[in-house]
Structure 1
Amino acid sequence: PSSPHVTRSPMSPEPGGSGTPGEEAGGARELPPRLGERLVPGSRLKEVVGASLAPLCLGTLAGPQRLGTLVECLVLNYRLRQGLGWGRGRGAVAESGGAAEGPLRCCGCGRFLSEPVTVPCGHTYCRRCLRRELRARCRRCRDWLLPAGGTSTAAAPLRTSVVLNRLAEKWFPGECERARTGRRLEELLAQGRFREALGAASQALRADSSDLMLRIYRAESYVGLQEHKTAIEDLNFVISKMPNWPEVYFRKAKVLQDSGFVGDALQLFLQCLALDEDFLPAKLEVERTLCDVLSPEKLGESLKEPAWNLPHIRSKPFILGSEVTESSSNLELCPEQSLGGSDVLEPVSGSLNRAQSAHALNSTKDPAKEDGLKRVSSEPLLSGQEKGALLKRKLSLSEQDTVVCEDGRNKHKKQGESTKRDLTLAFGTIPEDLIDVSDFECSLCMRLLFEPVTTPCGHTFCKGCLQRCLDHAPQCPLCKESLKEYLASRKYSITELLEELIMKYLSDELYERKRIHAEETAEHSNLTKNVPMFVCTMAYPTVPCPLHVFEPRYRLMIRRSMETGTKQFGMCISDSQNGFADHGCMLQIRNVHFLPDGRSVVDTVGGKRFRVLRRGMKDGYCTADIEYLEDVKVADEDELKKLRELHNFVYNQACSWFQNLRNKFRTQILQHFGPMPDREENIQAMPNGPAWCWWLLAVLPVDPRYQLSVLSMMSLKDRLIKIQHILTYFSRDQSK
């Protein structure tokens, strides 16, 4: 289990299920992934239901998680019935700011970011959202929040972001104290000390009645004490204040489910998923409920009858009506007024005395509400046509939300409207004297954070600064915790919340920081001044040159070449006097394969030749001011004719030498350098001359100093003569 708690609260979600990638993939057995989106319109929903029920009734459905496609289809149909459209529910609270507006807001629940934890994708959640496993995927980008099935373990603990937590404590100490109170209540609930938790929550509410999370904790305490009716009252109050908060619907559904009211609970689970389709516990509960009530053990010999009309299903308040078997083939999932905070429930087809079951939990001491419940529960049973007419008259949650007025009456408001009470901000404005640029400084470069990246251990650095540190050792620069897995993933996602805060409150400082970074990038992009030099081996134009990069200085050099977009650097052989030779060849990066430990295999090919004018040093690697070399072209026709004859003679001589090599040597050359380039018709078309000359120089076993002298030549005739002398020498050796 991911939670450090000894026991779980009665309303806490259970881990596992279809939230893991493997199990989600398994759900494709009955239908292809996302098929529900294509089958919902018109009568095709019946096909999804039939395709899902067939293996279930035959006993071939291995577990409730195989009903994932059916659940997605039901949720999508539910959203359409509510008028929420085809869009995927991502949680209205977090995206619209319905919970609270402020600079520190959780991506999950939309509330104050207490104990902020930055997940690998770069988004930040409060620890409570992650610890309680409320979702498996990020609400913003749908990336997996936590490794290994979406749970935190001892090997992958939830670490608080140091910078963001320090800002929260400095800017909003009152909210942080609220969060600490919530943590104490969670500990009491986890230990099963419900009476103590109830007293603590009630006392905190007397001091601060506006904190809705305290009502959630108090409701959990009531559930632990088996006082379900009082728990529902607290949850209804929260729904009236925040009708778009998915978690509160899940909490209320759990209470109803534990009380035996399956239909009402399933309705609320679907409402939760309509608001946030990645709310993992609600999805699991829907799958388990469907699997339970439709299992072959319960259906028995009665499978010939419509499944929705069987006694074992009708005996509990189940909301899936007989509409599935009707000609319309549309599943009438009718939202109840109770979902928006009202206590009035109407009877729905397929539910036995639904109003009475709702009355048992939802009734209050308000006379107006009592009268409403009595009127509903005293209604006679309706016919099928009357039920259809009643369903059409019901108000959709997309068109209205229920708001509880101060006088106890209910009134409706259109979606998008809000009262001043809904917009009361617990946090939002930061005094200017509390905004300090030093709170946003990188502890490595001591400058304003640029592209801030938060490590799994909770420390934040500039992306470039962290990469340079990991070039030397796979450890956090501050706490020395191992970052081998983080380095292997090479994700380095920007911490979006920190970047937003810097842009909003330190715009002038950020502008200056970007200007300095642009100047540094432009300096690294210059291919004639301070060009990075890789001092290693001989490189030639057009010839591949694979490199194994493991030294920290060259890791930095390769990364800068990629980031600037030039993807080029110089290659020279070493020189005992000057550090590296006076002539070299530019290399063009074609591909980089990073290894888990930070090393890389770089695929390069030779480009232009150059001469070194001045040497330098930059961050540990050599640099140089250079000028590029090109062959001097022959203009005289007679000299050009003689040059062609020499070229053809040496080319044929090279082919003969290569063919006479032993098969073992020839195979090795072909594997490493590829085949010999063909003879070119225009021998002066390329600034470096024919490509086959450079291929031949690369494969000939010649001293690098001799090869360097040929590389530096700007006359094709002189180069061909040098190659001819080498081939003549090796041909004599072959004859012996």
Structure 2
Amino acid sequence: MSLQPQVEDAPEEKSAFFIGTDSKHVSEEEDHHQLLLQKVNALASENYLTEAIYWFSVAMRYGPVRPEQLNSFVDCILRNFKTKAAVPDPLSGHRRDNSGGDVFDCPNCHNFLGEPMTIACGHTYCKRCLYRRLLSKCKLCNEAVRGEEKANVILCGLLDKWFPDELKKSKTVCEVDELCRNKRYQEAVLLATHVIESDPETTEVARLSRAEAYTALKQYRLALADIEFCPGSSSSAECLYRKAMVLHEMGQVDESLQVFLQCLAVDEDFPCAKRQVEKILCDLLSPAGENVKVGLRETTQNASPHLHSKTIVADAQAHPHSPVQRQHQDQVCANSVNHHLDNQEEHWESLERPGLSRAHSLRMHGSSHDEEGLKRVYSAPQLGDQEKGSLLKRKLSSDTEPCVVDSGSSKHKKQVFKQQAAKIKTCRSVPKDLLDPSDLECSLCMRLFYEAVTTPCGHTFCKNCLERCLDHTPQCPLCKESLKEYLACRKYMVTTLLDTLTKQYLSQDYAERTKTHLEETRELSDLMKNVPIFVCTMAYPTVPCPLHVFEPRYRLMIRRCMDTGTRQFGMCINDPQKGFADYGCMLIIRSVHFLPDGRSVVDTVGGKRFRVLSRGVKDGYSTADIEHLEDTKVEDNDELERLQQLHDAVYEQARVWFQNLKIRFHNQILQHFGPMPEREADIQATPNGPACCWWLLAVLPIDPRYQLSVLSMTSLRERLMKIQHILTYLQSIPSN
């Protein structure tokens, strides 16, 4: 069968689209499908909504589209929704700054932390928000949330000690969520009702969990009533999401899409809502199933614009080779979705009329619009067959009977509830008689936490203590859980809540702990006393010295050099009797590249020379008190002129030797030490003399002990003469 190109609405794409069933062209059509989806995403990213909708409908003819492929498309629609509906952000002053709230509140849901869980960025959220995937990014720093963390052991113990009653209620709500996950909805309703009746003033989370159970039991009216009773029913992303889910389960796809978008307008990173919008849009723009076509045709005049477009899509599928119908289908689909967005504000206002609860709105409009609403339900994709449609018709008609009346007393009750909830959030504080500094001690150093860091397994340590443990083994010091990934990331972020609690409630103890830390840091910052010594190889001023650091003691040493800001340590060669030689060179750290297993590659360059005065050991690595070495300057002009002539002669001799080296050795030297330094105009400009001398000393093939003797010299003349003798000897050896 021959393939005939089909002419599309866009002339520039003529040769790109083909319709056929021959198997040899399957891969070609798949390529077209992917290219079309890329075009849709590109148009959506640039905010070309109409064009994106058109090309998306074209792409649907070449193959199915997964909801997760609509990410950019959903973002584009959300931007249009915000613009056309002029949706304000109710939490704009609160989403990125929780400093004005209670420190024991979750930054996401603003309820009691309950079982706190610290994420990688150091901020702490309640277990419910993380386990239910209610956020994809941290509300305080925008860092991605993995949701795999475990409860913070220290914080759980503190909250259990300080607020046992609130923690008990929080755990009970988590039990309600667990019952819902196990589909034990009747038990979830009973337990949530018990929580609400025992303390009706602080039960927003319990009501939302009960609303989820009611929705699963198809008691939509009760679910909406619970959601409307919550103080954040119109400003909380979770409340809006739960409301949209109820509407979606009722088959009111129009209204649910609007509320889902409103939820994303409040919190654009709300992952569950975004997935639902992706699914709805994918369904709206995809060809309808056979069991839906009849219902769609019957309700074309009464249904919403996007369902009307789906009817045209269904009809067009019956005649796949009609380009006119396909073009008409694509254009109507694009126009209808845009028309749907243009009317978002009007739909939203009708849905959220001031002073009217959702349940009451259903009651008022149920009698006059039951038939249209049920047809819309009947034509929705998830309720395609007629039996399910009529079943839901009977269910919905019973659910829309008046039960919750938005009377003045209920308004007053809700207002009082909001005031009491706000009052509770401002008065929570730690009882003074329960404050104990030992509750905030590091289990490794047995001192008050300083820069407390929480691992993914939920245990907390001082940052320095944890790093020292990870130098030896990539396991948690307490539970022995593997921390290889944590070590590879090296994002040891301070646990903000613990830091805040320590400063707020143990200010005097924290001040003493800070003073001790600063004294220790100041001691480590002294570059004359107790200087860390790396016992390894010869190092020279101005010469690069790359190091591979893998021993735990030197990992600690390098990290301390970085933390104190000195970025310097001494390098000496080994001495069998003394431990390390009497002379060495300071190395300046230019960069550190950490490897996933904790090792590091350290790029250093030589600094000042020194002489060892005394030796010591600190935490496994050697230290020394030192004094710096400087060349003795020549003051006499005649002597200085002779010194300059000697320098020039040695420099020229070295240049010739380097150029005559075999290409293999020449390249190795260039790779490890770089090119030979340029001739210096003033040979006494620096305390260490010309850089070329140290470069030559590093590259010349001589014994380290001989190199050490030259390093210790403070006379430039003697150093030049030594190098000259070495060069003369090497040049006298015949090359093979």
With normalisation by structure 2, the TM-score equals 0.79
RMSD, matched Cα = 3.6
Instruction: Give the C-alpha shift of residue 653 in structure 1.
Output: 1.8
Mapped pair 1:245 → 2:255: no
Aligned pairs for 1:315-354 (under 5 A) are 332=345, 334-336=347-349, 339=352, 342-343=357-358, 344=361, 353=372
Kindly report which structure 2 residues correspond to 1:294-333, keeping only aligned pairs within 5 A, or say none.
294-297=285-288, 308=305, 311=308, 332=345
Q: Which of 403, 418, 429 lines up with 1:365 in the alignment?
A: 403
Structure 2 residue corresponding to 1:291, chosen from 282, 302, 308: 282
Shift of the alpha carbon at 1:141? 2.1
What is the deviation of 1:338? 5.1
Q: Aligned residue for 1:406?
A: 409
1: CA distance, partners of 2:474 / 2:339: 63
Q: 1:63 aligns to what?
A: 66
Structure 2 residue 217 is the aligned partner of structure 1 residue 225: yes
1:30 aligned counterpart, secondary structure: helix
Q: Percent identity?
A: 49
Distance apart, 1:717 and its partner CA: 0.5
| Displacement after TM superposition at 1:720 (Å) | 0.7
1:577-600 CA-partner distances (Å, limit 9, x unpaired): 222111111111111111111111
- Asked whether 1:213 is paired with 2:205, we answer yes
Where is the helix percentage greater, Structure 1 or Structure 2? 2
Match of 2:633 in 1: 633
1:30 has 2:40 as partner: yes
- Aligned partner of 1:544 in structure 2 is 544
Per the alignment, do residues 507 and 182 of structure 1 end up closer, same or farther by CA in structure 2, a change over 3 Å counting? same
Q: Where does 1:679-718 land on structure 2 (aligned, <5 Å)? A: 679-718=679-718
Change (3 A) 1:453 1:664: same
Q: Which amino acid aligns with 1:406?
A: S
**Secondary structure in 2 aligned to 1:421?**
helix
Deviation at 1:49, TM superposition (A): 3.4
- Cα deviation, residue 35, structure 1: 3.9
Give the Å deviation of 1:75. Answer: 3.0
Q: Deviations over 1:148-179 (max 9, x none)?
A: xxx64xxxxx4111001001101111111112
* CA offsets 1:432-486 (integer angstroms, 9 cap, x no match): 1112111111111111111111001110001111001111111111111111111
Deviations 1:91-117 (A, max 9, x none): 87766779x953322222221112211
Please state whether the residue corresponding to 1:492 is helix, strand or coil.
coil
CA distance in 1, matches of 2:40, 2:246: 31
Q: Which residue of 2 aligns with 1:73?
A: 76
Deviates most, 185-194 or 419-428: 419-428
Matched, 1:236 2:262: no
Comparing 457-466 with 191-200, greater Cα deviation is found at: 191-200
Given residue 429 of structure 1, which amino acid in structure 2 is its aligned partner?
S
Secondary structure of the corresponding residue to residue 111 of structure 1 = coil
How far apart, CA to CA, are the structure 1 residues paired with 2:306 and 2:486? 54
CA contact (8 A) 2:65 2:282 kept: no
Kindly tell me: are residues 328 and 434 of structure 1, through their superposed partners in 2, closer, same or farther at Cα, counting changes over 3 Å?
Answer: closer
1:191 to 168, 182, 195: 182
Structure 2 Cα separation of the partners of residues 188 and 327 of structure 1: 38
Relative to 1, partners in 2 of residues 1:459 and 1:333: Cα closer, same or farther, differing over 3 Å? Answer: farther
Change in Cα spacing, 1:51 to 1:241, as seen in structure 2 (3 Å) is closer
After TM superposition, give the deviation of residue 516 of structure 1 in Å. 1.6
1:49 maps onto 2:50 in alignment: yes
SS in 1 for 2:627: strand
Distance in 1 of aligned mates of 2:75 and 2:346:
14
Q: TM-score, normalised by structure 1?
A: 0.79
Query: Are the structure 2 counterparts of residues 445 and 362 from structure 1 closer, same or farther at C-alpha, using a change threshold of 3 Å?
Result: farther
Question: Does 1:159 find its partner at 2:150?
Answer: yes
Letter of the aligned partner of 2:49 in structure 1? V
Partner of 2:685, secondary structure, is coil
Instruction: Please give the alpha-carbon distance, in whole angstroms, between the structure 2 residues aligned to 1:514 and 1:672.
Output: 43
- Following superposition, the deviation at residue 657 of structure 1 comes to 2.2
Report the equivalent of 1:127.
Answer: 127
Give the match's secondary structure for 2:424.
coil
Residue 710 of structure 1 and its aligned partner are, at CA, apart by 0.5
SS of match in other structure, 1:603 = strand
Are residues 643 and 558 of structure 1, via their aligned partners in 2, closer, same or farther at CA, if it must alter by over 3 Å?
same
Comparing 667-676 and 687-696, the one that deviates more? 667-676
Whole-angstrom distance in 1 between the partners of 2:278 and 2:339: 23
1:332-481 → structure 2 map (5 Å cutoff)? 332=345, 334-336=347-349, 339=352, 342-343=357-358, 344=361, 353=372, 361=399, 364-365=402-403, 406-408=409-411, 420-425=419-424, 428-481=428-481
Whether contact under 8 Å (2:555, 2:599) holds in the other structure is yes
Aligned residue in 2 for 1:201: 192
Query: Which whole-Å deviations, capped at 9, do the CAs of 1:231-289 have from their partners, x for residues lacking one?
Result: 22222212x46542211221121111111111121122112112211111111111211
Please give the alpha-carbon distance, in whole angstroms, between the structure 2 residues aligned to 1:64 and 1:514: 52
Deviations 1:27-52 (A, max 9, x none): 8752459946xx4xxxxxxx323323
Q: Distance in 2 between matches of 1:242 and 1:450?
A: 41
Instruction: Report if aligned partners of 2:288, 2:310 keep a CA contact under 8 Å in 1.
Output: no
- Name the CA distance, whole Å, in 2 between partners of 1:312 and 1:178: 48
In the alignment, the residues of structure 2 paired with residue 34 and residue 563 of structure 1 have an alpha-carbon distance, to the nearest angstrom, of 46
Deviation digits for residues 397-441 of structure 1, max 9, x if unmatched? Answer: xxxxxxx85355799x9xxx9952341316712211112111111
The whole-number CA distance in structure 2 between the counterparts of 1:143 and 1:638 is 68
CA distance in 2, matches of 1:690, 1:552: 36
State the Cα deviation string for residues 125-154 of structure 1 (Å, max 9, x = none): 2222121222322222222211xxxx64xx
Q: Residue 721 and residue 194 in structure 1: after superposition, are their counterparts in 2 closer, same or farther (change >3 A)? A: same
Q: Given residue 230 of structure 1, which amino acid in structure 2 is its aligned partner?
A: L
Residue 453 of structure 2 aligns with an amino acid whose one-letter code is V
Q: Give the corresponding residue for 1:254.
A: 245
Q: Tell me if the contact between 1:115 and 1:160 (Cα under 8 Å) persists in the aligned partners.
A: yes
Following TM superposition, by how much is the alpha carbon of 1:695 offset from its aligned partner in structure 2, in angstroms? 0.8
- Report the Cα offset of residue 359 of structure 1: 8.7
Give per-residue Cα distances to partners, 1:13-71, cap 9 Å, x unaligned.
Answer: xxxxxxxxxxxxx98752459946xx4xxxxxxx3233234223442673233332342
Amino acid at match of 1:486: Y
Aligned residues of 2:258 and 2:344 also touching (Cα < 8 A): no
My pick for the range that moved more, 76-85 or 725-734, is 76-85
Counterpart residue type for residue 705 of structure 1 = R
Alignment-derived partner of residue 612 in structure 2: 612
Superposition deviation, residue 82 in structure 1 = 6.1
Q: Which residue in the other structure is 2:502 paired with?
A: 502
Structure 1, unaligned stretches of length 5 or more? 1-25, 40-46, 153-157, 370-403
Task: Find the counterpart in structure 2 of residue 559 from structure 1.
Answer: 559
Question: Within 2, Cα distance between the matches of 1:559 and 1:726?
Answer: 39
Contact map agreement 1:644 1:683 (CA 8 A) in 2: yes
Q: Residue 113 of structure 2: SS of its match in structure 1?
A: coil
Deviation at residue 330 of structure 1 after TM alignment? 7.8
Match runs of 1:511-660 below 5 Å: 511-660=511-660
The CA distance in 1 between the partners of 2:513 and 2:440, in whole Å, is 12
Answer yes or no: is the 8 Å Cα contact 2:37–2:56 preserved in 1.
no
Contact 2:542 2:607 in 1 (8 A): yes
1:281 and 1:254 map into 2 onto residues whose CA distance is 10
Q: Give the aligned length.
A: 642
Distance 1:242 1:173, change over 3 A: farther
